[in-house]
Amino acid sequence: MILKNLSEIFGPSGNECEIRDFIVETIKDHVDSLKIDKMGNIIAFKKGKNKNSKKVLLGAHMDEVGFMIKSIEENGMLRFLPAGSIDKRVVIGKNVLIGKEKVKGVICYKPIHLQRKDYNNIPDFDSLVIDIGSTEKKDAEKYVSVGDYAVFDTKFEKKGNIIKGKSFDDRLGCAAIIEILKERYENDLFGAFFVQEEVGLRGSKAAVFNIPADYAIVLEGTSAADMPHSKDEPDYPKMGDGVVITISDRSFFVHKDLFNETVSCAKENKIKYQFKQPMVGGTDGGEIHKSKEGVKTIVFAVPSRYIHSPVSYADLRDYRSMVDLTKKLLNKLK
């Protein structure tokens, strides 16, 4: 299952080499041209069937949240920084993989019976270390170097329609584009896989200079609300209720005409959809929609519980709704 491969592959922000190589190998026989730009973004092109076709950009980001090793202590412990937005409260005691050799480590804090007054405080990343089992610096340096990246060590699992794994933000979007590129559509199609989204939408900002798009559809993984939350917070989007359509977030407002066309397309084809809570988070759509003279942009997403954490849940029916709606819309845009 391609989602298993995409979920488990190492690819934190700034070190997307492995995930990029896998995607290139997977799509190369299904596109008319393919290139990697100076930032490391993949830009694939597939000619449309219509001579007067529009140019549509499909975008997803390859990178996942992770960590970077910043120093090695004399006792062999590793100090680190987050690469992307990660809740400090969910990382203690979690397994990680470090560097090219995938060295196993555990994120550590002092034992609970030594915390006393610190128990009610959230420790900063400066207070945490990664333990790889070394007892001195020179031993740790045999396996790990300053500047190495680390990601959560999480295995992908599937039970019925429910999948569990890491990096669903945004390997779900990557999987969708890979699947969509296997077919040809009325419109010209650019399939773009961006780097460094989790640290500031950097890859897409560079990539769109070379993509003459009329429309853009960004495919994402987004937070699901069916998890513990306050009563004054919304109960949507939910796993199992269909593809999430973003009306607005902190980075953009959806193009009104494209939004209406999308909702009409979903209703015509009886595709389940729901709306994201406005003004929360941001995606590559925030950079794409304001590139050049402007691009009509919309964002679709699969709701996932606990994104940016060691493990997430998602529903394959929502993923299928996202793929189906994107395919129908690609032939409908005029």
The domains found in the chain, sorted by start residue, are 2-64+166-332 (3.40.630.10), 66-152 (2.40.30.40)
Bin 307: left if φ > 0, else alpha if -120 < ψ < 50, else beta.
beta
Residue 98 clears pLDDT 90, i.e. is over it = yes
Is 197 considered catalytic here?
yes
Residue 74 clears pLDDT 80, i.e. is over it = yes
Mean pLDDT, the chain, as a whole number? 92
What is the per-residue pLDDT for 112? 59
Residue 61, annotated ligand binder? yes
Cβ neighbours for 232, distance < 8 A, ≥ 6 positions apart: none
User: Which of 244, 246, 271 is closest to 259 using CA atoms?
Assistant: 246
The residue written with tokens 């300053």 in the block is 146
pLDDT tens for residues 170-220?
999 999 999 999 999 999 999 999 999 999 999 999 999 889 999 999 999
Residue 220, annotated ligand binder? yes
User: What pTM, to 2 d.p., does this model score?
Assistant: 0.93
Quick one: average pLDDT of 91-112? 90
Proportion of the chain above pLDDT 90, given as a percent: 80
Residue 120 clears pLDDT 70, i.e. is over it = no
Quick one: average pLDDT of 71-95? 94
What is the per-residue pLDDT for 237? 87
Proportion of the chain above pLDDT 70, given as a percent: 93
Q: Indicate the pLDDT class of residue 166, thresholds 50, 70 and 90.
A: very high
Distances from the Cα of 94 to the Cα of 153, 197, 281, 283, 304, angstroms = 8, 24, 25, 27, 20
pLDDT tens for residues 240-288?
999 999 998 888 899 999 999 999 999 999 999 999 876 677 899 999 9
What is the per-residue pLDDT for 51? 83
Of residues 8, 16, 64, 197, which has the active-site annotation? 197
State the Cα–Cα distance between residues 60 and 217, nearest whole angstrom. Answer: 9
Residue 145 clears pLDDT 80, i.e. is over it = yes
What is the per-residue pLDDT for 229? 63
What is the per-residue pLDDT for 280? 72
Most trustworthy range by pLDDT among 47-61, 137-151, 198-212, 224-238: 137-151
State the Cα–Cα distance between residues 20 and 68, nearest whole angstrom. Answer: 19
Residue 118, annotated ligand binder? no
Q: Indicate the pLDDT class of residue 124, thresholds 50, 70 and 90.
A: confident
| Preceding omega of 237 cis (within 30 degrees of 0) | yes
